Amino acid sequence: MSTPAHRAAEQAARHSYGKLIAWLAARSRDVAAAEDALSEAFAAALATWPGQGVPLAPEAWLLAAARRRLIDMARRRRTRETASDRLLLSLEEAAAEADARGGVPDRRLRLMFACAHPAIDPAVRSPLMLQAVLGLEAATIAAVFLVSPATMGQRLVRAKRRIHDAGIPFRLPQPEDLPARLDAVLEAIYAAFAAGWVDPAGLDQRRQGLVAEAVWLGRVLTELLPDEPEALGLLALMLHAASRSAARRDGGGYVPLSAQDPARWDATAITEAEALLRRASRLGRVGRFQLEAAVQSAHAARRFTGRTDWAAIVELYDGLLALTGSAVVAINRAVALAETEGAAAGLAALDGLAGDAGLAAYQPYWAARADLLARLGQGEAADAAYARALALEADPAAQRFLQAQRARLPRG
């Protein structure tokens, strides 16, 4: 399968898919039709490129083929719908424009804003972006988001129909809407990353693939919005986390951050993340993703200094907590506090959160509690907390890790 034609088609798919969809769907707002047309164009490419050779401009070739297909579809519909006349005309106008500019303009950012539009269900924004911008199959996305392929397929179809029917625009938001709308795009990319990241054993290829795809989306976003500090912060955060992919597993076993060997962290990814974070901080607008990335940066420093600056991490979590008020942040802060002021202080901070009903079903809360109780020598309470954490953990590798911790408790 790795003939030059296949490789060229694969590369064009990787680099141009979202650009071509964004361009083809911009005027009609019909993502599904654009996807169909483009997939036929790829099929045509694989049929003709091996024999005739790869064209000099594969992207333009694919666009022309997909455009022809869209125009054919519009012509066929024209007998039924007069509205298609307008569509046909706008497609031809757009084609002339693209030819005059000598290339396909990059409108992926507009596509991303359409996918993360407030009128789209937040739960489907991330899958929609993975499909429309990167061309991922519904079945692949479904596996990672833990729903059946049929359900995911339906959700995606519905979301695309909604973009079309509700008239969700393919354009950049008004300046006054931009911060909120950009947050939604960042959240959707981060949700894709997080869905891929929940794999402590690191054995699921699809999940690892999704981590790489989310990083790719983050790169696209920073290319298109080079002066948005939070976009840079998100990419830095993802790269820092991804730099530890190899180190967080040990032959199918889960290795927590504190026990990881920094020599196994990916230095290239760390360097890139640090550079991004510096660029972001020069822009002078702090935000959630930059602070989260800064926490990861403080952890990464252990590779060079041999120690972790927990006081700095507590301070960063203070900032994050003030910004987000998130209980998850508060748990992480309590864990960091235990390192600077002792396990009792950390536990007291966790006790302060006990009123939050959502935490009763949140595994990291119980795991953190169990660890701090164990350190304070409260074996029985620690054992109970481990039991709660274990009941909430679905991943076998993380379960084995918790069981090993639990087994280490002194028996009274």
Q: How far is the CB of 169 from other proteins (least distance, A)?
A: 4
Q: What sign has the CA pseudo-torsion 125, 126, 132, 138?
A: negative
Question: Per CB under 8 A, which of residues 59..98 are in contact with other proteins?
Answer: 83
Choice between 19 and 117, CB closer to other proteins: 117
Choice between 29 and 244, CB closer to other proteins: 29
Q: What are the tokens at 231?
A: 């976009």
Choice between 163 and 195, CB closer to other proteins: 163
Q: How far is the CB of 178 from other proteins (least distance, A)?
A: 12
Q: Does 102 bind other proteins (CB under 8 A)?
A: no
Tell me if residue 364 falls in helix, strand or coil: helix
Q: How far is the CB of 188 from other proteins (least distance, A)?
A: 18
Whole-angstrom distance, CA of residue 10 vs CA of residue 16:
10
CA distances from 163 to 29, 59, 83, 91 (A): 7, 25, 17, 18
Helix pair 205-224, 178-197: axis angle to 10 deg: 160
Q: How far is the CB of 174 from other proteins (least distance, A)?
A: 7
Choice between 165 and 284, CB closer to other proteins: 165
Whole-angstrom distance, CA of residue 236 vs CA of residue 221:
12
One character per residue 256-275, x = contact with other proteins (rule: CB under 8 A): --------------------
Choice between 166 and 391, CB closer to other proteins: 166
Choice between 119 and 322, CB closer to other proteins: 119
Strands 253-254 and 249-250: antiparallel
Q: Quick one: which of 63, 118, 120 has its CA closest to 94?
A: 63
Longest CA pairwise span in the chain (Å): 83
Report whether 273 contacts 300 (CB < 8 A): yes
Q: How far is the CB of 114 from other proteins (least distance, A)?
A: 10
One character per residue 211-230, x = contact with other proteins (rule: CB under 8 A): --------------------
Q: Quick one: which of 119, 111, 40, 110 has its CA closest to 73?
A: 40
Question: Per CB under 8 A, which of residues 104..143 are in contact with other proteins?
Answer: 117-119
Q: How many residues bind other proteins (CB under 8 A)?
A: 13
Q: How far is the CB of 167 from other proteins (least distance, A)?
A: 4
Give the H/E segment covering residue 254. strand 253-254
Question: Per CB under 8 A, which of residues 166..205 are in contact with other proteins?
Answer: 166-169, 171, 173-174, 177
Question: Per CB under 8 A, which of residues 318..357 are in contact with other proteins?
Answer: none
Whole-angstrom distance, CA of residue 219 vs CA of residue 193:
13
Work out which of 56, 80, 100, 165 binds other proteins, going by CB under 8 A. 165
Choice between 185 and 242, CB closer to other proteins: 185
Whole-angstrom distance, CA of residue 395 vs CA of residue 367:
14
Q: How far is the CB of 83 from other proteins (least distance, A)?
A: 5
Q: How far is the CB of 119 from other proteins (least distance, A)?
A: 6
Report whether 266 contacts 222 (CB < 8 A): no
Tell me if residue 387 falls in helix, strand or coil: helix
Question: Where along the sequence are the contacts to other proteins (CB under 8 A)?
Answer: 83, 117-119, 165-169, 171, 173-174, 177
